[in-house]
Every structure is written in structure tokens, then in C-alpha cells.
């Protein structure tokens, strides 16, 4: 049975996240995760300052399937099947040792050793640590309470490495530690951020000082001024409340390079779009469209939706043992699809218009130079003849406007749509924004010509400025626009 538990399908990241669930349930404020490199004898420890366990409690916790998923649990209990500690650990290591101290009691130790079980044929939970493991548990001797989980014989992590001096293997081991840190920063970001009534959790990775703290990763860029947050909606599910909030993230033109890189997340911009399912603030599903009929596409990558579910609805959402998969209940599918459609629609608009969300209440329509049209039954793009600068130039063609009209037609018929689409899909961040890195004087030259065309069309100085503020991409240059016409007064 214990060998069978190794095949559940955990990654190192999801396995360690499962252990931290136990720490949070035990009321831990601090978690110390350490990757110790020593070749084939490398090991990982995870220690917390939670309530700890007595001898009897630890023995029960080490018994596979010690809880039924149907049992009623406390609202903030992050467990479900009673398998997490064991299956998560066995998926990566052949020896699992847990030491725990409960306030006012002595240290309790229990150990599962798959090699011992295989050699003796005895399915026995051992009451002492391996002699070589004793120094690795010593860090728990000082605190008054807490728990330490020790993984040894990590065949799934170390592989066939035998030498401590294997530089490539050590580099992979440390890279894995960094990947784990990023994953934990995503899964537990709401705990790491904290809120008014729940102090922040601190996770230390390979250290105990501030520079070793795991940093939270907020999928929704909640602190960014250009993030659009939809009103929260509450859905009822068998008497429980499911809360859904949609977000449209800022276009890259509204972010610094560092902000944009950070917001992409572990899976990249395309991979992180979609639904984020949280159970008691713990992230279960990080992106994807929950089989609601959508796929990940470049122009919807700014769309993300937060879904908060209580642990009483685990069965309804089909939460798996690894707590990394969820399926929406049939009763909620239609409304979730409608909410997704709304968020996706705005996300596409922001993506297409490089950060703008269209017409704002009380303002004019934004003037674009191009417009989508149907040409010979197919979608095409046409230069707007009523655009101020286009109409201004056309009126000055005199008695023979045909050459200029032919030029416009040539541009319209030869828009490299397929090439643009392919480049956008393969290298989405390589496309420059309008006037990106252009000297301010060059932008001012274009604005000056537009300004002249508007004045020639009968606009006043003030109305011309106002009109320019509604033209993409010039709405991003309000100071330059306000300076137009000052020499004429």
C-alpha cells in the first residue's frame, strides 16, 4: 500500500505545499523549509511553530487515511483525505520522519521507512528516528512547540546521483528549491500577504532572515492602478457561498518591465489566464478555463477570475488528493461561463487597444485610425477616411485625389494580418507600443499636424485639444497636447 501511494502524481512543489497546509491548520505563523545538499544523502526539512502533536496525535496523523473526506471540518482546515502528509512525502522520499512537540509535553517521533517495510514485510510505523537522522531533528529541541518533517532517501528528487561533488546535480537541486519557492509564493500568497484579522504567514526558504522569505505572488496585480476589478458576485451552492471576482490586468504598456515580468507568473502570461480557485484562501487551481468551452489564447491573457469556495464544498468541486485540480459543479457552470465571457470581452478590448478600455462614461468615442470591416465576405481592416488627419490630407489633394486614395487602398489590401498574428503568438512581448521610445519632439510633430487639421476643420483650440485626448495613442500625451496652440494666443 505504501509503495502504491507513491504513484498519486505529486510534483515536489505540490507535495511541499500539502505539508504547509498542515502547518497552517496547526496555527503556524512561521515555516522554515530547507534543502540540504549532500549528494545521494541529501534531505529536505520543513519545520513550523504550530501547536505540535502529542504521541497519540502524531501516531494517528502518520496513519494513512486517518480521516474521511466526508467528515465535517473546521472552516479553516486545509486537509481533506487524511493522506496529504504521507502521500506527499512518499511521492518524493522513501523515508519519512516526523518529530513534534506539543506545549508542556516531550518530543514525539514517528517514522515510515519504505525500505524497512520491503525488507521485513512488516507494515510497521517506527517510534524512533534513524540514528543518522538525529542531528537533523535537533533544531526542534529548542522551541516549546512545533513540528518538523524530514524527507530522506529522496530517490524521486535526487535520482541516481551518488557523489556530493556532482556540480550539475547540485545546481538542479538548488534550481528546484527556487522553483518550489515561486510555487509556494503563488499558492499561499493570500496567507503571506495577510489581512486585518489574520496575521501574515512567513515561509523561509534556505534561511531564517528576511532575505530568505518567500515573496507572495498576486495573480491579480491588485495594487496596480491600471488593474480593473469587477464587482464581487456571490453564488449559492447547497447553502454555501461561492464568491467570484473578475480582473482584467494592465496591458504591458501600462507596466514597467519588472512589473510585467512578475505579473506573468510561474506559467507565463498565456498559461496563467483564466480561473483561480481558492479554498480558505489557499490556491488550488492557478489558471485555465475549467472546461467551460474556452482555451488559452493570446488576446485573452489579461483575463483572470478569483473564485473563493468553502471546504464544505470539496465534493461538489471534485477536489483531488493533491489539491491541484477542481471541476465546477454543474449548478454553477452556466453563471461561471457568463462571468468568464464578460471578463474575457474586456480583456480582449484592453489587449487590442493597448491598455484602453474603450469609451468612458461622459466622454467621446476614442478615435482609431483603423476600423474592422467586412470585405468580400471576409474580415478586413480599413483606414478611416473620416479620421481628422486622413480627411485633412485628402482635402489637400486638389483635383486629383486618386493617387492618395490608391495608396490607402494598397495599404488596406496588404495588411499582413497572418504575419502579425503569427508574430504576436510566437513573440508577444516583442511588439513595440505606438511611439514607444520615440523622442518627445517626434510625437509633438505628429500632434501638431493633427492639431492643424482639426483647426482647419472648424474646431476651436480647446475643442481640438479635447479631441486629440480621445485619439489613440495620443491620450497618453496630455501635457504635449495642452501645449499645442499656446504660441497662437
What is the predicted pLDDT for the residue at 2?
Answer: 59
200 with 233, same domain?
A: no
361 within some domain? no
314 part of a folded domain:
yes
Last residue of a domain, one of 148, 177, 212: 212
Task: Give the C-alpha separation, 358 to 414, whole Å.
Answer: 27
CA nearest neighbour of 30 among 170, 202, 161, 145? 202
Q: Which of 177, 212, 247 is the last residue of a domain?
A: 212
Same structural domain for residues 58 and 144? yes
For residue 419, the model assigns a pLDDT of: 80
Q: Taking a C-beta distance cutoff of 8 angstroms, is the pair 288, 280 a contact?
A: no
Closest CA relative to residue 397, chosen from 471, 458, 406: 406
Which residues partner with 101 through β-bridges?
146
Query: In this predicted model, what pLDDT tens digit does every residue of 124-158 receive, in sequence order?
Result: 999 999 999 999 999 998 878 999 999 999 999 99
Q: Are 237 and 386 part of one and the same domain?
A: no
Contact 212, 184 (CB under 8 A): no
Question: Per the structure, how many domains does the chain have?
Answer: 3
Task: Specify the pLDDT at position 74.
Answer: 52
Q: How many contiguous H segments (helices) and E segments (strands) does the chain have?
A: 18, 14
Q: Residue 433: how many CB atoms within 10 A of its CB?
A: 15
Burial pattern 197-218, b for ≥16 Cβ within 10 A else e, equals eeeebbbbbeeeeeebbbebbb
- Exposed, middle or buried: residue 158 (CB in 10 Å: 0-12, 13-18, 19+)? buried
> Is 193 in the same domain as 313?
no
- pLDDT value at position 378? 76
Note whether 291 and 144 are same-domain residues: no
Position 365 in a domain:
no
Shared-domain flag, residues 279 and 394: no
Give pLDDT, residue 147: 97
Q: Is residue 418 part of a domain?
A: yes
C-alpha cell at 53: 502533536
**88, 168: one domain:** yes
> pLDDT at position 70, please?
46
Judgement on whether residues 197 and 236 belong to the same structural domain of the protein? no
Cβ atoms 22, 85 nearer than 8 A: yes
pLDDT of 8: 67
Q: Which of 212, 247, 280 is the last residue of a domain?
A: 212
Beta strand pairing call for 146-152 and 43-48: antiparallel
Residue appearing with cell numbers 461561471: 336
Ramachandran sector of residue 479 (left: φ over 0; alpha: ψ -120 to 50; beta: rest):
alpha
Do 178 and 154 sit in the same domain of this protein? yes
- Give SS3 for 220: coil
- The residues of the chain scoring below 50 in pLDDT are 68-70, 80-82, 358-364, 489
pLDDT score of 365: 53
- DSSP for 425-478 reads HH-TTSSPPTTTT--HHHHHHHHHHHHHHHHHTT--HHHHHHHHTTBTTGGG-H
- In this structure, the answer to whether residues 132 and 162 fall within a common structural domain is yes
Q: What range does the domain containing 108 cover?
A: 4-212
In a domain, 123, yes or no: yes
Radius of gyration from C-alpha coordinates of the chain: 30
107 inside domain = yes
pTM over 0.95: no
- The CATH number that applies at residue 241 is 3.30.230
**CA distance to 10, 66, 206, 317, per residue, from 5 (Å):** 10, 14, 28, 23
Same domain, 208 and 290: no
Asked if the structure places residue 222 within a domain, the reply is no
Same domain, 91 and 235: no
Task: Give CA–CA dist 22/85, Å, rounded.
Answer: 8
CA atoms within 13 A on the CB side of 61: 26
Residue 478: what pLDDT? Answer: 87
What CATH number does the domain containing 146 carry?
A: 3.30.565
User: Quick one: pLDDT at residue 129?
Assistant: 96
Cα gap 207→401, rounded to integer Å: 73
Amino acid at each position: 500500500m505504501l509503495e502504491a501511494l507513491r504513484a498519486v502524481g505529486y510534483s515536489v512543489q505540490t507535495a511541499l505545499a500539502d505539508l504547509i497546509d498542515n502547518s497552517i491548520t496547526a496555527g503556524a505563523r512561521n515555516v522554515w523549509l530547507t534543502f540540504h545538499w549532500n549528494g545521494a544523502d541529501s534531505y529536505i526539512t520543513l519545520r513550523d511553530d504550530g501547536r505540535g502533536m502529542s504521541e497519540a496525535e502524531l501516531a494517528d496523523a502518520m496513519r494513512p487515511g486517518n480521516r474521511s473526506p466526508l467528515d465535517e471540518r473546521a472552516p479553516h482546515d486545509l486537509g481533506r483525505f487524511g493522506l496529504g502528509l504521507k502521500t506527499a512525502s512518499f511521492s518524493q522520499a522513501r523515508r519519512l520522519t516526523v518529530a513534534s512537540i506539543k506545549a508542556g509535553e516531550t518530543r514525539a517521533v514517528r517514522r515510515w521507512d519504505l525500505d524497512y517495510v520491503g525488507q521485513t514485510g512488516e507494515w510497521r510505523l517506527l517510534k524512533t528516528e534513524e540514528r543518522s537522522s538525529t542531528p537533523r531533528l535537533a533544531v526542534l529541541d529548542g522551541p516549546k512547540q512545533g513540528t518538523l518533517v524530514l524527507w530522506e532517501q529522496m530517490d524521486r528528487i535526487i535520482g541516481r546521483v551518488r557523489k556530493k561533488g556532482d556540480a550539475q546535480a547540485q545546481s538542479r537541486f538548488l534550481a528546484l528549491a527556487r522553483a518550489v519557492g515561486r510555487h509556494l509564493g503563488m499558492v499561499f500568497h493570500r496567507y503571506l500577504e495577510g489581512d486585518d484579522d489574520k496575521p501574515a504567514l512567513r515561509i523561509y526558504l534556505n534561511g531564517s532572515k528576511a532575505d530568505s522569505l518567500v515573496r507572495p505572488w498576486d495573480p491579480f496585480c491588485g495594487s496596480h492602478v491600471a488593474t480593473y476589478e469587477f464587482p464581487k458576485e456571490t453564488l449559492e451552492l447547497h447553502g454555501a457561498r461561492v464568491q467570484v471576482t473578475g480582473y482584467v490586468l494592465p496591458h504591458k504598456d501600462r507596466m514597467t518591465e519588472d512589473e510585467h515580468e512578475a505579473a506573468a507568473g510561474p506559467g507565463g502570461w498565456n498559461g496563467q489566464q483564466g480561473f483561480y480557485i481558492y479554498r480558505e484562501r489557499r490556491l488550488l487551481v492557478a489558471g485555465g478555463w475549467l472546461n467551460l468551452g474556452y482555451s488559452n489564447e493570446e488576446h485573452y491573457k489579461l483575463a483572470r477570475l478569483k473564485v473563493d469556495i468553502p471546504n464544505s464544498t470539496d465534493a461538489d468541486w471534485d477536489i483531488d488528493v493533491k489539491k491541484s485540480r477542481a471541476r465546477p459543479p454543474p449548478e454553477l457552470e452556466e453563471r461561471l461561463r457568463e462571468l468568464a465571457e464578460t471578463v474575457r470581452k474586456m480583456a480582449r478590448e484592453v489587449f487590442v487597444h493597448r491598455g484602453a478600455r474603450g469609451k468612458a462614461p461622459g466622454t467621446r468615442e476614442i478615435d482609431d485610425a483603423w476600423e474592422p470591416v467586412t470585405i468580400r465576405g471576409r474580415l478586413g481592416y480599413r483606414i478611416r477616411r473620416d479620421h481628422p488627419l486622413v480627411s485633412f490630407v485628402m482635402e489637400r489633394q486638389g483635383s486629383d485625389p486618386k493617387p492618395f486614395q490608391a495608396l490607402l487602398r494598397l495599404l488596406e489590401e496588404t495588411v499582413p494580418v497572418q504575419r502579425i498574428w503569427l508574430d504576436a503568438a510566437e513573440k508577444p512581448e516583442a511588439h513595440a507600443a505606438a511611439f514607444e521610445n520615440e523622442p518627445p519632439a517626434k510625437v509633438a510633430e505628429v500632434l501638431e499636424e493633427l492639431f492643424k487639421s482639426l483647426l482647419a476643420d472648424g474646431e476651436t483650440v480647446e475643442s481640438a485639444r479635447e479631441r486629440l485626448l480621445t485619439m489613440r495613442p495620443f491620450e497618453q500625451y496630455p501635457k504635449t497636447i495642452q501645449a499645442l496652440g499656446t504660441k497662437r494666443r
